[in-house]
C-alpha cells in the first residue's frame, strides 16, 4: 500500500484566528485530525498508542459552545494536542511505550502538565508512541511500531525506505508533522523533543528543567527530565511554554521580543558537536551560518574543552543510573518483557557505585560553572541539533551495533544542553521537502526568554 502523506499542522495562532473568525470549529479540526490518524497508508497507527476519539469530540464540542458564549480560555482553546505516553491522564494507563506496564492501574489524576493544557482548553486527542521508557533518541518501538519522518530519499542507497521520526518523543513529532495534532506534549532528557523536531522539520523547545513540572510523568532521569512541546514554529512553542510553565518561572514576554539579529553575539561551538556531520547536515549548517551573519549576527567560533570530556564524565551517566534505580525491582521478574536495546542501557547503570554517582554530580556542577564562564558575554550558543539526517528504520532494526552507534550519535549534541542544565530551541534550517536538518539555539539555565526571542528572529532569517 502506498504511503499517505498529509501536510503538517498549521501554526497555533493561525488555527486560533480561524476559530475566532468562525471559518472553522474545534469539532472540525478534531474530525480532520481523527481522519488523518485513521487514514489507510498513513502513520497514525505508528504515531498513536491510544486515540480518545469520543473524548476529543466531547471536549471540542464544549470549547465550541464556550466560544459561542463569548468565552475563550486561551489561544490553545479548541486545538487538538497529542500527549506522549509517559504522562498521566486521568482514567488512562501510562505505559511509557512499553508492554511492561500493560497491566498498570489507570491514572487517578492528570499530570500537572496535562492539567494545565486541559485548563487552557486544549483538546486531548490521544497518547503518542515513544521509545520504550524514553530511553532512545531514535524512536524505535518493537511493540507499537516505529513512527516515521515525513521525509524519505534514496540518495544514500536506502531506496526511499521509511526513516525514523526521532526519539524519544517520536509519536509527538509524527502527529504534528502529519497534521494529526496541532502540537505534541513531550519530554526531553537528552534531546527527546529536539531530535524528533529536527528529523521531522518541526520546532522543539526544551525549557530549563525546573520551569515545567515533571510530576505525573514516568521518569527516565529525575536529574535531567524536562517537559516541553513540539510544534510548527517558535511562536507555537512559546505559547505552549506559557501554558506549561510553573508560576514564578514564566518567560518575560518583553525579554522574548526581538526584531533583529544586529549585534546578537552567538558562540558557534567548534568542537565535539561538529564531529561526524554527514554532507547534507554540513552544507545546511554552513548555509545557515552564512544567512545569520548576513542578517547581522556576530558569530564567534568557540572551543569548549569541557565537551570533549563528556564521554569520560558520563561513562555511566544520569539516565542509566537513575533508570536502573526506577526499574530494578521489575527487572527481577519482567526483564524478558523489555526491549533488549532499552534493557541493555538500563543495566548499564547497575554497575555504578554511590561514589560514581557523587562524582557525576560534582563533575556536572563543575562543567556548568566552566560553561558559564566561557559563555559570558554571549547571547546564546548554536550547534547542529543532530549531525545526520534521519536514518532508515530497517537498518536500525536489523543491526544492533548500528543502532547503538547511531543512537549515541544523535543524542550527543542535544544532551550537552541537558547536562549543562540549559534550554534550547531546535529550528528547521532547510526548506520544506528537503532533507530535514535542525539548528539549535541554546543558553544556560533560565535564559529561556532570550533563547526564544533569538530563535524566533533566526527562524525568520532562515526562512527568508
Q: What's the CA gap between 98 and 95, in Å, rounded?
A: 5
The CA radius of gyration of the chain, in Å to the nearest whole number, is: 21
Residue 277: inside a domain: yes
Q: Which among 84, 136, 169, 187 is annotated as catalytic?
A: 84
Specify whether 168 is catalytic: yes
Q: What's the CA gap between 374 and 171, in Å, rounded?
A: 37
Q: What is the pLDDT of residue 157?
A: 58
Q: Which among 26, 82, 98, 168 is annotated as catalytic?
A: 168
Residue 110: inside a domain: yes
Strand 265-269 vs strand 123-128: parallel, antiparallel, or unpaired? unpaired
Residue 285: inside a domain: yes
Tell me which residue range forms the domain holding 137. 12-463
Residue 2: inside a domain: no
Q: What's the CA gap between 116 and 251, in Å, rounded?
A: 16
Provide the grid cell at 185: 506534549
Residue 4: inside a domain: no
Q: What is the pLDDT of residue 255?
A: 63
Q: What is the pLDDT of residue 251?
A: 84
* pLDDT averaged over 10-residue windows placed end to end, the chain, 464 residues: 81 98 98 98 96 98 98 97 98 98 97 98 98 98 97 68 96 98 98 98 98 98 98 98 94 73 97 97 98 98 98 98 98 97 98 98 98 98 98 96 98 98 98 96 97 97 93
The number of distinct structural domains making up the chain is: 1
CATH of the domain at 168: 3.90.1300.10
Specify whether 72 is catalytic: no
Q: Which among 175, 187, 192, 440 is annotated as catalytic?
A: 192
Q: What SS3 class is residue 272? A: coil
Four-residue CA torsion sign, 62, 64, 70, 75? positive
Residue 6: inside a domain: no
CA 430 to chain centre: 18
Strand 438-443 vs strand 380-384: parallel, antiparallel, or unpaired? antiparallel
Q: Within 13 Å, how many C-alpha atoms sit on residue 341's CB side?
A: 27
Q: What SS3 class is residue 16? A: helix
Specify whether 26 is catalytic: no
Where do runs of H (alpha helix) occur along 69-184? 112-119, 170-177
Residue 5: inside a domain: no
Ranges of beta strands (E only) in 218-320 are 227-231, 265-269, 298-302
Where do runs of H (alpha helix) occur along 276-353? 279-294, 305-308, 310-313, 318-334, 340-347
DSSP 73: -
Q: What is the pLDDT of residue 1?
A: 46
Residue 142: inside a domain: yes
Q: What's the CA gap between 352 and 316, in Å, rounded?
A: 7
Residue 155, strand partner residues: none
Amino acid at each position: 500500500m502506498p504511503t499517505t502523506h498529509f501536510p503538517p499542522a498549521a501554526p497555533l495562532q493561525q488555527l486560533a484566528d480561524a476559530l475566532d473568525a468562525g471559518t472553522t470549529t474545534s469539532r472540525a479540526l478534531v474530525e480532520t485530525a481523527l481522519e488523518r490518524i485513521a487514514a489507510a497508508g498513513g502513520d497514525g497507527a505508528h504515531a498513536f498508542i491510544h486515540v480518545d476519539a469520543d473524548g476529543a469530540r466531547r471536549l471540542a464540542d464544549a470549547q465550541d459552545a464556550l466560544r459561542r458564549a463569548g468565552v475563550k480560555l486561551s489561544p490553545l482553546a479548541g486545538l487538538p494536542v497529542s500527549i506522549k505516553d509517559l504522562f498521566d491522564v486521568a482514567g488512562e494507563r501510562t505505559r511509557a511505550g512499553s508492554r511492561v506496564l500493560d497491566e498498570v492501574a489507570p491514572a487517578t489524576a492528570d499530570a500537572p502538565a496535562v492539567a494545565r493544557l486541559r485548563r487552557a482548553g486544549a483538546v486531548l486527542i490521544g497518547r503518542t508512541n515513544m521509545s520504550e521508557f524514553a530511553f532512545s533518541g531514535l524512536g524505535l518501538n518493537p511493540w507499537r511500531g516505529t513512527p516515521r519522518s515525513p521525509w524519505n530519499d534514496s540518495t544514500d542507497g536506502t531506496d526511499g525506505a521509511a526513516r525514523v521520526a526521532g526519539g524519544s518523543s517520536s509519536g509527538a513529532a509524527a502527529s504534528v508533522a502529519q497534521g494529526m495534532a496541532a502540537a505534541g506534549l513531550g519530554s526531553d532528557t537528552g534531546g527527546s523533543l529536539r531530535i524528533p523536531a529536527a528529523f521531522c522539520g518541526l520546532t522543539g523547545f526544551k525549557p530549563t528543567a525546573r520551569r515545567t513540572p515533571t510530576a505525573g510523568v514516568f521518569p527516565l532521569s529525575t536529574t535531567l527530565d524536562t517537559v516541553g512541546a513540539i510544534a510548527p514554529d517558535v511562536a507555537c512553542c512559546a505559547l505552549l511554554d506559557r501554558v506549561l510553565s510553573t508560576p514564578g518561572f514564566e518567560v518575560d514576554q518583553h525579554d522574548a521580543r526581538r526584531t533583529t539579529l544586529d549585534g546578537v553575539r552567538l558562540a558557534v561551538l567548534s568542537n565535539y558537536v561538529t564531529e561526524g556531520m554527514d554532507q547534507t547536515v554540513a552544507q545546511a549548517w554552513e548555509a545557515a551560518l552564512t544567512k545569520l551573519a548576513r542578517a547581522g549576527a556576530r558569530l564567534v567560533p568557540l572551543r569548549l574543552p569541557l565537551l570533549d570530556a563528556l564521554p569520560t564524565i558520563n561513562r555511566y551517566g544520569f539516565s542509566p543510573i537513575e533508570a536502573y534505580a526506577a526499574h530494578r525491582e521489575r527487572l527481577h521478574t519482567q526483564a524478558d518483557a523489555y526491549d533488549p536495546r532499552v534493557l541493555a542501557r538500563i543495566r548499564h547503570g547497575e554497575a555504578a557505585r554511590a561514589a560514581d554517582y557523587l562524582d557525576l554530580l560534582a563533575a556536572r556542577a563543575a562543567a556548568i560553572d566552566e560553561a558559564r564562564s566561557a559563555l559570558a558575554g554571549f547571547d546564546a550558543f548554536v550547534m547542529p541539533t543532530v549531525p545526520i539526517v534521519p536514518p532508515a528504520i530497517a537498518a536500525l532494526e536489523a543491526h544492533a551495533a548500528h543502532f547503538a552507534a547511531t543512537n549515541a550519535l544523535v543524542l550527543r549534541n542535544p544532551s550537552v544542553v541537558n547536562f549543562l542544565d540549559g534550554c534550547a530551541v531546535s529550528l528547521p534550517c532547510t526548506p520544506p521537502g528537503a532533507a530535514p536538518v535542525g539548528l539549535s539555539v541554546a543558553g544556560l539555565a533560565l535564559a529561556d526568554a532570550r533563547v526564544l526571542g533569538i530563535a524566533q528572529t533566526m527562524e525568520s532569517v532562515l526562512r527568508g
